[in-house]
């Protein structure tokens, strides 16, 4: 039953056989969305079934979004019984809340995982940018519940870390939106790992999710349509470069020097700015994919012309791209710079020959910043208001 609490509409999405945390944890149930095509084949062959049954299941999972095993109508009932008896399930996440921006371009979903934790996923469409008549449609997925990195300007960073999100739960985020888009005769064109959490701190599950999403027998999106954003775990960047994947990499730099960066990203400790630039270079050399440096612009903190000059010196001649992201006001005390200050910062980088763009703001009225909606909902339900108040804000010139 749908219900309204504190002004927020919660949707009832219970399936016939809704899982509980104990199903997953105590009984070792495995969601079929976790299985790579070769694992699905091994499963059906192990049941004495022909190999083509694996492709029937995969086709149903990725084109029909079944809610539970009994929705796999292509399979004989005896096989469905056997799949259930073997401990397989479907349904890692249920939608509990959805908000759509006024222009309809941004949709944010709050999903409830089987252990009751909430994660958020965002769909952003760019009508002006079309691929074969379809708007560019990007889904921003979460890879962790909360985040241990503690970036001071980020709502997720202020939640703390709860747990890693499993590959099938990452895939479930895409499947929910793919289903929505199918009804509009649209499809997912891009996936960015830029939601809650640090994807390279949940490395194995992130890579499994990417292999599921890019396998042509599974979700089938092109590797080049995926971008992983990292706060800068250099060992993870090097591992990723060796995966033989063609995914894009975005490194969140946010500052041109270690002192400021360590203030903004308290866990940055061992990774100096120079380490991150070097890791980006190695990634480019190994994969041929240009690395983007993301830079959250914060009023009065890291947005001065002097800091822009410092950043320009650091990145000059690297062939890198800088994405300036005016910070979303969150639970902290940070503001986005005035438009003129953003453009002046961009100009300094452009004048140095650095390819630079300012991210188009989408969906700010629906809490589109990473972790913001979840924070809003969780706080409205059970927690007292929490504000991050740093002792000393470093001021830029």
Q: Which stretch binds ligand SF4 (CB under 6 A): 38-46, 142-150, 333-341, 343-351?
A: 142-150
CA–CA gap between residue 36 and residue 42 (Å, rounded)? 10
Quick check: 292 and 326 in contact, CB under 8 A? no
Give the C-alpha separation, 215 to 205, whole Å: 15
CB nearer to ligand SF4: pick between 150 and 326:
150
Q: How far apart are CA 210 and CA 222, in angstroms?
A: 10
H or E segment and range at residue 108: strand 106-113
Stretch that binds ligand SF4, among 75-83, 194-202, 311-319, 377-385 (CB under 6 A): 194-202
Out of 54, 79, 122, 154, the only residue in the binding site for ligand SF4 (CB under 6 A) is 154
Q: State yes or no: residue 198 binds ligand SF4 (CB under 6 A).
A: yes
Residue among 119, 95, 122 nearest 106 (CA): 122
Q: Per the residue annotation, which of 41, 120, 198, 310 is the catalytic one?
A: 120
Residue 66 vs 236, nearer CB to ligand SF4: 236
Task: State the minimum distance, in angstroms, from the CB of residue 156 to ligand SF4.
Answer: 4
| Cα–Cα distance for residue pair 209/247, rounded to 1 Å | 12
Cα(278)–Cα(265) distance, rounded to whole angstroms? 19
> Distance (Å, rounded) from C-alpha 213 to C-alpha 193?
12
Q: Report residue 389 as tokens.
A: 């108040």
Please report the DSSP string for 268-310 in residue order.
GTT--HHHHHHHHHHHHHHH-PPEEEEEEE-TTTS-SHHHHHH
Query: Using the rule CB under 6 A, is 192 a contact of ligand SF4?
Result: no
Burial label for 82, CB within 10 Å (0-12, 13-18, 19+), is: middle
Asked if residue 331 lies in contact with residue 287, where contact means CB atoms within 8 angstroms, the answer is no
Query: In this structure, are residues 365 and 101 in contact, taking their beta carbons and an 8 Å threshold?
Result: yes
Q: Which stretch binds ligand SF4 (CB under 6 A): 196-204, 299-307, 334-342, 356-364?
A: 196-204
- Closest separation in Å from C-beta 287 to ligand SF4: 22
Rule CB under 6 A: say whether 147 interacts with ligand SF4: yes
Q: For residue 120, indicate whether it is catalytic.
A: yes
Q: Are strands 190-193 and 134-140 parallel, antiparallel or unpaired?
A: parallel
Among positions 66, 91, 135, 197, the unique one binding ligand SF4 when judged by CB under 6 A: 197
Chain positions 355 to 374 lying near ligand SF4, rule: CB under 6 A, are: 370
Q: Applying CB under 6 A, which part among 41-49, 64-72, 106-114, 147-155 lies near ligand SF4?
A: 147-155
CB atoms within 10 A of CB 50: 9
Site stretch for ligand SF4 (CB under 6 A), options 22-30, 74-82, 152-160, 376-384: 152-160
Per-residue contact track with ligand SF4, 212 to 251, x per CB under 6 A?
-------------------x--------------------
Are 6 and 377 a contacting pair, CB within 8 Å?
no
Q: Given the complex with ligand SF4, which of 166 and 254 has the nearer CB atom?
A: 254
Contact mark string toward ligand SF4, 261..300, x via CB under 6 A: ----------------------------------------
Whole-number Å distance between alpha carbons of 357 and 349: 10
Q: Is 370 a catalytic residue?
A: yes
Nearer of residues 154 and 307 to ligand SF4, judged by Cβ: 154
Nearer to ligand SF4, 153 or 283 (CB): 153
Q: Which is nearer to ligand SF4, 66 or 197 (CB)?
A: 197
> 30 pairs with which residues across the strands?
88
Residues recognised as catalytic:
120, 370
The residues of the shown chain that bind ligand SF4, judged by CB under 6 A, are 147, 149-151, 154, 156-157, 196-198, 231, 370
């Amino acid at each position: 039953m749908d219900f309204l609490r504190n002004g927020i509409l919660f949707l009832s999405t219970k399936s016939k056989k809704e899982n509980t945390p104990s199903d997953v944890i105590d009984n070792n149930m495995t969601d079929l969305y976790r299985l790579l095509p070769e694992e699905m084949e091994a499963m059906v062959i192990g049941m004495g079934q022909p190999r083509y049954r694996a492709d029937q299941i995969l086709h149903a999972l990725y084109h029909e979004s079944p809610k539970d095993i009994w929705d796999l109508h292509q399979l004989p009932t005896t096989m469905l019984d056997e799949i259930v008896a073997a401990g397989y399930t479907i349904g890692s996440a249920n939608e509990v809340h959805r908000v759509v921006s006024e222009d309809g371009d941004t949709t944010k979903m709050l999903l409830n995982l089987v252990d009751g934790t909430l994660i958020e996923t965002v769909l952003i469409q760019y009508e002006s940018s079309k691929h074969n008549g379809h708007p560019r449609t990007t889904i921003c997925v979460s890879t962790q519940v909360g985040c241990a990195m503690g970036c001071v300007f980020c709502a997720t960073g202020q939640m703390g870390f709860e747990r890693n999100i499993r590959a099938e739960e990452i895939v479930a985020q895409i499947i929910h939106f793919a289903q929505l888009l199918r009804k509009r005769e649209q499809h997912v064109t891009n996936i960015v790992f830029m939601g809650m959490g640090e994807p390279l701190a949940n490395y194995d599950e992130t890579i499994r999710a990417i292999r599921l999403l890019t396998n042509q027998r599974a979700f089938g999106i092109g590797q080049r349509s995926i971008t992983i954003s990292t706060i800068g775990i250099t060992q993870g960047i090097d591992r990723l470069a060796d995966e033989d994947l063609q995914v894009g990499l975005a490194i969140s730099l946010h500052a041109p020097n270690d002192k400021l960066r360590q203030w903004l990203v308290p866990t940055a400790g061992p990774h100096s700015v120079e380490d991150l630039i070097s890791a980006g270079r190695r990634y480019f050399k190994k994969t041929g994919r240009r690395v983007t440096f993301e830079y959250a612009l914060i009023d009065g903190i890291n947005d001065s012309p002097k800091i822009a000059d410092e950043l320009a010196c650091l990145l000059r001649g690297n062939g890198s791209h800088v994405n300036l992201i005016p910070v979303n006001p969150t639970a902290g005390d940070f503001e986005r710079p005035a438009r003129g200050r953003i453009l002046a910062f961009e100009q300094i980088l452009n004048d140095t020959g650095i390819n630079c763009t300012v991210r188009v703001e989408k969906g700010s009225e629906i809490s589109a910043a990473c972790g913001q909606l979840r924070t809003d909902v969780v706080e409205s339900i059970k927690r007292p208001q929490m504000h991050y108040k740093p002792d000393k804000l470093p001021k830029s010139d």
